[in-house]
Structure 1
Amino acid sequence: MVKLREVDEEKLSRLKGETGLPEAILRFLLLRGIEDKEEIRVFLFPTRRDFYPSALLPDIGPAIERIKKAIRDKERILIWGHEDVDGITATVLLESVLKDLRAEVFHFIPKKHEFKYGIYPPKVFSTEEWEGVRLLIAVDCGTTNHSEVKELKSKGIETIIIDHHEAVKDLPEAVAVINPKINKSLYPFRELAGVGVVFKFSSALIEEFLGAKIEEWTEAKPCALPLAYLGTISDRVPLIQENRIIAREGARDLKKKQVIPAWQMMSNLEEINGMLSLLSAIEGQTACDFFLTKSEEVAREIFDRMVERQEGLKKEMEEAFLLAESVKSIFPGLVVVKSLFLPLRSLSYIANRFKERYSLPVIVMGKKENDLWVAECRGTKEIDLLDLLQESAPLFLDWGGHKKACGFSIKEENLEEFMKRAREYAEREFLPKIKEMTSNQEEVIFVDGILTLSEIPKEVFLLPPFGEGNPPPLFFSPDTEVKEEWRQDLFREEASRIIPGKRYDLLWTVEEKGIKIKSFLPREE
């Protein structure tokens, strides 16, 4: 049985009168919380003028003033990044912008699990060539680094934090904490990726120093939005509001002629997932060098190395996944994987795949060294993993992240107690929610709208990009006579099962490249 998803019929009627848009399109928008004419315009026809004012970000004034001082006094600035694509692109974008402003700046991205998560002061103090650094800017990390910021300050190094992770307690004593998720933030959109926050901060810097608005700056610097686009997609943030603008405009700018060698090579890849897969195959420090170098020879050497390592990484990840399958434990409301032999860089990959396979929250743990273990955690809809970690916080060396993607490190002596607490918490808090979400499910297919396949409104093709917060639609076309020319274009591998001229009930969706039939059922003669 096919049923329309329910929407507020009064709002639907009002919007039909105000916009003239087809009912199926308006249903799609209402189901995603888009309820007025202006919101609809921004969703379907976003422009660079639709970004919120960057000045609304918390602590942006003190951060700009401190950077002004650093540039004026020729202080060395260290950007401390995070080794994922979001952290890499955030680091590259900020360094590139600061160099445009004539700052003396360089970057460092620690290897994943090399140190504790976030800033690690002993590395700053012990690296001889970093002597003279008086300002450290942490990107895509830092919100939970209280003692680390204090330690840096005691040695005369000030800190600016540009981040998007959840703040689980009071903020560090930094010059500025620019994070739309902190309590004092008045910023209208809290779901930016790390690179999204850096992008907005960079636009504020450019406006302060050069007087250029965001649309002028991004036209003059064609790599800015593509960097924000890559990091935003990789971090799986909701593709709504500003993230949607970044994705739409970034994809558009990626197709423009780029002068940086790395972008010339990356733009030849047809799919963004291909770009993300390549970047995941190499260390973060090298990936930054790839984007920042002006040497075509250096960029080509790194690019070829990424391609070569990508194949080896695929094999390693699949072997790690099979190992994880053999040692997993499924508890009420929680899947746990713990193994001495899992490569640490496979933990995120395994956690994501297990979440999809079992539709349960997942904790994947691997041993780093001696008595130290590290973990990646992934949550499902309506499940807040940070609450679980908060309850066991005294057992961890460090922890943090998002509600549905987080991690921690822990000494072996505390593992058994943590596992006990995690199992109890999951059974008490997660299991009832999971049961509620899966109970009383009827054999019903819910659709976003009913449309005639032969007269698809042009607005359907304005609905991508899709992702969290904007899932692909499911439309229903009942009693549809299938034309011969549709077979290969729409039915693809199922084309041989379709009889032209016969009538079918069709379920279909929209992809970046067009329409895709999801299922079809012949009508009874």
Structure 2
Amino acid sequence: MRWTLAPKPDQEKVAQLQKSLGVEEAIAFLLVQRGIETFQQAKKFFRPQLEDLHDPFLMKDMDVAVKRIQEAVREEEFIMVYGDYDVDGTTSVALMSSYLRTQTNLVTTYIPDRYKEGYGVSYAGIDYAHDNGITLIVALDCGIKAIEKVAYAREKGIDFIICDHHRPGNQIPQAIAVLDPKREDCNYPYKELCGCGVGFKLIQALEQDKGNTVQSLIPYLDLVATAIGADIVPITGENRILAYHGLHVINTLPRNGFKAIINQIKKTTLTITDVVFIIAPRINAAGRMKHGLHAVELLTEENEEQAQLFAQEIEQYNKERREEDRSITELALQQILDHKEEDKFTTVVYQEDWHKGVIGIVASRLTETYYRPTLVFTKSGEKLAASARSVKGFDVYNALEACQEYIEQFGGHKYAAGLTLHENQYEKFKQKFEEVVAATIEPRLLTPEIKIDAALSLTEITPKFYRILKQFAPFGPGNMAPTFLTTNLTDTGYAKAVGQENDHLKCCVQQLPNQGMLGAIGFNLGKKLKTVANKEPFDAVYSVDENEWKGNVSLQLKLKDIR
């Protein structure tokens, strides 16, 4: 691990903010580091207000999209809500379809089959719309590159409204309206919305046009918060406001589908991390193992008992997904060793019978192991399909763009993408991808980095400090949970490796010379037991957490690395 201590913020600004807020220096230090320098900015940060959301009509084409939906409702046209099969797509479809059903009964939903149709807008989906007399498709979390498909729909008398957040290509589809803050000709102030966030802006605009405030849309925010967490978009600006209020909905008045999942996991208060690691994988499991429409059914079900049944079904898919993920990861790791590819700049693996629904998760697991840009391929119909994952600081989307002579289709983000190619291009692509990454990646990016916000002494970690620290949440890209460094620690003599495989480290630490004492847990740091043995001094990087044991709650250090 590379330990990188963030530069210290301007000490004068820290002192001014500390005085105006009446907080410890460490809290003011962290706030200024995050660009929060005044009392007013701190108020907006700690108490995000829905009133601070931008006017949705600032988004290019929003006025056209609103008029077209109003016309469809007025003229009693059939509307199809189309979205991708991942969490962002299925929550988007649940959000838009349930909102439109408050205006008209003539709404149907469509999620492409991951295996037969693949990602994004499909000809099969357009044909289904045409066969069923549908004249308007609202596509969410996809469509920004569907040039030919939108043209095909147009020939069949079907209009498209696209709500996407992916990077556009050189051409924008000829749809009625294309809502995407990443369009170069779009002046919308916040560029980092997820697909469900763009969908939310559209329903906000529809409500605003009727003279209603955003308050009327609070019940939809649990879906938006889930998409924000799952799609790993920055939790800054509008996303922070939406995630903050959406989490509140999840924890106080969740829709039946969420309630059914939460009942199964027996957890009371969920953080954005719980949403990412508990709710999102279950929603995703439907599209990975069966069909994304199962997730939409769960998220829009109004009968509580039926929602429980849907949740049980999805829990089963999630178990199957875990088993597939585990076995494919083992096979992929073996393949890397067999082919002696441990020392390359990239990981590219392929087996034709790997489950297409879990190759993205496997790519993430391999990235954790070898820490380099990774692609996992499987056979999909006549072609090969892959999921790409990257390491922090390296743009895998750009790397794929440099290999596009061998690729049939690709799309995605800086750190995660998907592609298809013909089998006879696989070896050439693999070689070219390795060459591109080797030539463009900075060697330091191949070692995982821990960014440290501040150095602390143990005595600074008080219940009051932690109470305020908790209010920095929701955490995520752009607002990560603060990470601290404390030097010259020693174990009090009770350190041990714990867990089934002894892979976690548990200890109680004090800072020399005997300043303060706190419990600590280091997941996957069991191998470092010898570092703390015999009361040898060590430095630790950690976040601050609460430990609940037999009804007692105490502060603890959640160790990330020690040396």
- TM interval, shorter chain, is 0.7 to 0.9
Q: Is 1:276 the counterpart of 2:280 in the alignment?
A: yes
Tell me the CA shift for residue 287 of structure 1.
Answer: 1.0
- Alpha-carbon shift at residue 172 of structure 1 (Å): 0.7
Show CA shifts across 1:110-159 (max 9, x none).
Answer: 1224224311124422567x421111111000001111111111111111
* 2:496 is aligned with 1:462: no
1:382 is paired with a residue of what secondary structure? coil
> Equivalent residue for 1:345?
357
Partner of 2:371: 359
| Residue pair 1:165, 1:181 contacting (<8 A) in 2 also | yes
2:54 corresponds in structure 1 to: 52
Say whether the 8 Å CA contact 2:510–2:517 is kept in structure 1.
Answer: no
Q: In structure 2, what is the equivalent of residue 473 of structure 1?
A: 482
Size of the alignment, in residue pairs? 499
Q: Classify the secondary structure of the residue corresponding to 1:243.
A: helix
Structure 2 partner of 1:489: none
- Contact 2:391 2:446 (8 Å CA) reproduced: no
List aligned pairs for 1:379-418, cutoff 5 A.
379-418=390-429
Match for residue 448 of structure 1?
A: 454
Deviation string for 1:2-34 (max 9, x for gaps)? 967422334434434554443212322333344
Q: Which has the higher mean CA deviation after the structures are superposed, 444-453 or 315-324?
A: 444-453
Task: Identify if the C-alpha distance between structure 1 residues 35 and 190 changes in structure 2 by more than 3 Å, giving closer, same or farther.
Answer: farther
CA distance in 2, matches of 1:70, 1:201: 15
1:231 to 211, 227, 234: 227
In the superposition, relative to structure 1, how do residues 367 and 479 fare at CA in structure 2: closer, same or farther (>3 Å)? closer
Distance change >3 Å, CA 456–CA 3, structure 1 → 2? farther
Match of 2:241 in 1: 245
What is the aligned partner in structure 1 of residue 527 from structure 2?
A: none
Find the partner of 1:266 among 256, 261, 266.
261
Query: Match for residue 195 of structure 1?
Result: 196
Equivalent position SS for 2:252: coil
SS in 2 for 1:456: helix
After superposition, the Cα gap between the structure-2 partners of 1:99 and 1:18, relative to the gap in structure 1 and judged at 3 Å, is same
Where do residues 64-103 of structure 1 align in structure 2 (5 Å cutoff)?
Answer: 64-102=66-104
Q: Is the 8 A contact 1:25 1:449 kept in 2?
A: no
Contact 2:545/2:558, CA 8 A, preserved across alignment: no
| SS at 1:281 equivalent | helix
- The 3 A distance-change label for structure 1 pair 331 and 479 is closer
Kindly state the Cα deviation for residue 77 of structure 1 after the two structures are TM-superposed. 0.7
CA 1:267 to 1:412, structure 2 compared with 1: closer, same or farther past 3 Å?
Answer: same
Question: Aligned-pair distance for 1:505?
Answer: 7.5
Counterpart position of 2:495: none
Shift in CA distance, 88/3, structure 1 to aligned 2, threshold 3 Å: closer
Say if 1:185 and 1:113 are closer, same or farther in 2 by CA, change over 3 A. Answer: farther
Alpha carbons 1:88, 1:287 under 8 Å: kept = yes
Instruction: Give unmatched runs, 5+ long, in structure 1.
Output: 484-491
Instruction: Provide the aligned C-alpha RMSD in A.
Output: 3.2
Q: Is the 8 Å Cα contact of residues 508 and 517 (structure 2) preserved in structure 1?
A: no
Structure 2 residue matching 1:114: 3-state secondary structure: coil
TM-score, with structure 1 as normaliser = 0.86
Q: Provide the rounded CA distance (Å) in 2 between the counterparts of 1:445 and 1:368.
A: 39
8 Å Cα contact 1:331/1:423 also seen in 2: no
SS state of the match for residue 166, structure 1? Answer: coil
- Displacement of 1:170 in angstroms is 1.8
**Structure 1 CA distance for aligned equivalents of residues 315 and 482 of structure 2:** 34
* 2:544 counterpart residue number: 510
Moved more, 507-516 or 462-471: 507-516
Q: CA offsets per residue over residues 365-393 of structure 1, 9 Å max, x none?
A: 111123x0001111122211111122233
1:148 maps to 2:132: no
The Cα of 1:467 is off from its aligned counterpart by: 2.0
TM-score, L = length of structure 2:
0.81
- Secondary structure at 1:336 match in 2: strand
- Relative to structure 1, is the Cα distance of residues 36 and 324 closer, same or farther in structure 2, using a 3 angstrom cutoff? farther
2:24 counterpart residue number: 22
Q: Which residue of 2 aligns with 1:158?
A: 159
Structure 2 distance, partners of 1:519, 1:327, is: 32
Q: Is the 8 A contact 1:333 1:434 kept in 2?
A: no
Q: What CA distance in whole angstroms lies between the structure 1 residues aligned with 2:18 and 2:260?
A: 45
User: Shift of the alpha carbon at 1:417?
Assistant: 2.4
> Matches of residues 114-153 of structure 1 in structure 2 within 5 Å?
114-126=116-128, 130-153=131-154
Q: What is the Cα deviation at residue 468 of structure 1?
A: 2.0
Structure 1 partner of 2:107: 105
Equivalent-residue separation in structure 2 for 1:352 and 1:4 (angstroms): 26
> Percentage identity across aligned positions?
26
Counterpart Cα distance in 2 of 1:427 and 1:3: 27
The amino acid across from 2:248 in the alignment is R
* Cα distance in 2, alignment partners of residues 382 and 398 from structure 1: 24
CA distance in 2, matches of 1:235, 1:92: 16
Change (3 A) 1:280 1:2: closer
| Separation in structure 2 between the aligned mates of residue 520 and residue 170 of structure 1, nearest angstrom | 44
Report the secondary structure of 1:71's partner residue.
helix
Per-residue deviation, 1:478: 7.4
Gaps of 5+ in 2: 268-273, 493-503, 519-539, 548-553
4+ aligned runs moved over 6 Å, structure 1: 1-4, 477-483, 496-499
Contact 1:350 1:364 in 2 (8 A): yes
The one-character-per-residue Cα deviations of 1:28-74 (angstroms, maximum 9, x if unpaired) are: 23333444544332222212222222222221110001101111111
Distance of aligned partners of 1:482 and 1:321 in 2 relative to their CA distance in 1, 3 Å threshold: closer
Greater relative contact order (Cα < 8 A, sep 6+): 1
Question: Which one-letter code corresponds to 2:215 in the other structure?
Answer: E
* 1:195 positional shift: 1.0
Hey, what does 2:436 align to over in structure 1?
425
Q: What is residue 317 of structure 2 aligned with on the other side?
A: 309
Deviation at 1:455, TM superposition (A): 5.9
**177 and 31 in structure 1: CA distance in 2 versus 1, 3 angstrom threshold:** same
Query: Aligned residue for 2:215?
Result: 215
* Counterparts in 2 of 1:369 and 1:309: CA distance versus 1, 3 Å: same
Q: CA deviation at 1:84?
A: 0.5
Shift of 1:317: 1.0
Shift of 1:449: 4.8
Deviation per CA, 1:423-465: give whole Å up to 9, x if none: 11111112xx2337759x9xx9944253612363342121122
Residue 302 of structure 2 corresponds to residue 294 of structure 1: yes
Give the whole-Å Cα distance in 1 for the aligned partners of 2:324 and 2:6: 44
CA distance in 2, matches of 1:127, 1:455: 58
Q: Tell me the secondary structure at the aligned position of residue 60 of structure 2.
A: coil
